[in-house]
Amino acid sequence: MKRISLCTLVLLVTLNSVTSQSQSTTCSKYAFKSSNMGNASSPTTTSFQSCVDLPVLSSFLHWNYHPSNATLEIAYRHTGVGPASSKWVVWAINPIGKSMVGSQCLVAYHNPKDGSMVVYTSSIAGYGTTLAKGPLSFKVLKLSAVGESNEIIIYATLVVPKNTTTLNQVWQDGPLSSDGTPLMHSTTGPNVRSVASLDILSGVTVATATATGSSLKNIHGVLNAVSWGILMPIGVIIARYMRVFPKADPAWFYLHVGCQVSAYIIGVAGCATGLKLGARSEGVEHSKHRNIGITLFCLATIQMFALLIRPVKDHKYRIYWNIYHHSVGYTIIVLSVVNILEGFKILAPDEIWKKTYIEFIATLAFIAVILEAFTWYVVFARRRATASDNGNKHGSFV
């Protein structure tokens, strides 16, 4: 039995190694057609010494680097963009940073009018660009593009600064208008993770913070999920269903306040990281997520201050305070769940995280339904008992 287990383990390790090698060398198996190199503006080579599978957007980069004259021959392949897809593709070098602004782009797409290939250079000076034609900050000796097998390949020979070893590369795709004007690409998911540094000598690609969804994004997501999405609903359930038990008073109140205050403090930290992310990502806007987040913060702040003006139980205005407090509280819960799901769309983590959160909320909702039924059962039982006691007392006087 031990021999079988050992053999199985060795087999699994071997298969995993083979699979990993296969996945890591996808681009190296690609064979370029010599016919594509016939254009005078194309690179003169039919083979590339180095290549890398880019982590998102089904893209691959092949290149040859010649340190003697500081030239870089590249072939950028972007799959899934046939003539009918109405998409533009871009591969770019950013000499000044790891973002879109400052990128020196090679743009290509199928002309929607006649299906011909359009390829040109574009320098991005700001957000909201339409990828207008223009010169780059470095020389482009040769440039061409072909469309075949449902992919676009951009060929170029670039002159990079001497002694260059690492480049900041950006690659992207987006929709075309009916007249062939590039429109804004998506600002969620893979389209905001398509940035990486490339060592042109070793071929090592290192995803930047922008490409992977920085740790600050993850912190922002976790803080808000825990505060608005977990602690807040639990605090509401405690207040709603523990208070029907006389022995739970005042414990339920302190548990409720503890949950909500903790949620608010953590939520403030989450909002702060969100503001910092916004400052770092100028031009990238998630209006719906941002607006809901601001609304949540304002409502939660009002709730916190409302604790300072809470009337005593027998005060004549207590009923109005209760209506306000409950209405705002339930609104916060609904908006919290909606905004967290919106955050999942933006952050695009592994599907298991979104699925786990949905299951958690569904479980809380199921528990709330059960407790709601039990609460009304207790309330009606007490009313019947009170009515029975009053009837007995009345009968004793007869």
**Residue 303 pLDDT > 80:** yes
Task: Give Cβ neighbours of residue 36 (< 8 Å, ≥ 6 apart).
Answer: 42, 146, 148, 153, 155
184 closest CA partner among 90, 60, 57: 90
Q: Is 123 helix (H, G, I), strand (E, B) or coil?
A: strand
Instruction: Please give the structure tokens belonging to residue 199.
Output: 């060592």
pLDDT band at 146 (very low <50, low <70, confident <90, very high): very high
**Residue 20 pLDDT > 70:** no
Task: Give Cβ neighbours of residue 333 (< 8 Å, ≥ 6 apart).
Answer: 232, 233, 236
Mean local confidence (pLDDT), 3-16: 40
**Residue 10 pLDDT > 50:** no
Composition of the chain by helix, strand, coil, percent to 5: 50, 20, 30
The predicted model scores a pTM of: 0.53
Q: Give residue 281's pLDDT.
A: 61
Architecture of the 215-386 domain: Up-down Bundle (1.20)
**Residue 223 pLDDT > 60:** yes
**Residue 6 pLDDT > 50:** no
158 closest CA partner among 78, 218, 72, 44: 72
pLDDT band at 16 (very low <50, low <70, confident <90, very high): very low
Cα distance from N-terminal residue to C-terminal residue, the chain: 87
Rounded CA separation 55/207 (Å): 8
Overall fold of domain 28-212: Immunoglobulin-like (2.60.40)
- Give the range among 17-21, 170-174, 197-201, 381-385 with minimum mean pLDDT: 17-21
Instruction: Please give the structure tokens belonging to residue 386.
Output: 């009170």
- Asked if residues 231 and 266 have their Cβ atoms less than 8 Å apart, the reply is yes
Whether omega for the bond prior to residue 250 falls within 30 degrees of 0, making it cis, is: yes
Most confident of the ranges 142-156, 177-191, 381-395: 142-156
The residue ranges of every structural domain in the chain are 28-212, 215-386
Q: Give residue 284's pLDDT.
A: 59
State how far Cα 384 lies from the chain centre: 54
At 31-86, the pLDDT tens digits run 887 655 444 444 545 688 888 999 888 999 999 998 888 899 999 999 988 888 88
Rounded CA separation 301/370 (Å): 30
- Asked if residues 57 and 173 have their Cβ atoms less than 8 Å apart, the reply is yes
Residue type at 11?
A: L
167 closest CA partner among 137, 129, 134: 137
- Give the range among 77-86, 126-135, 162-171, 328-337 with minimum mean pLDDT: 126-135
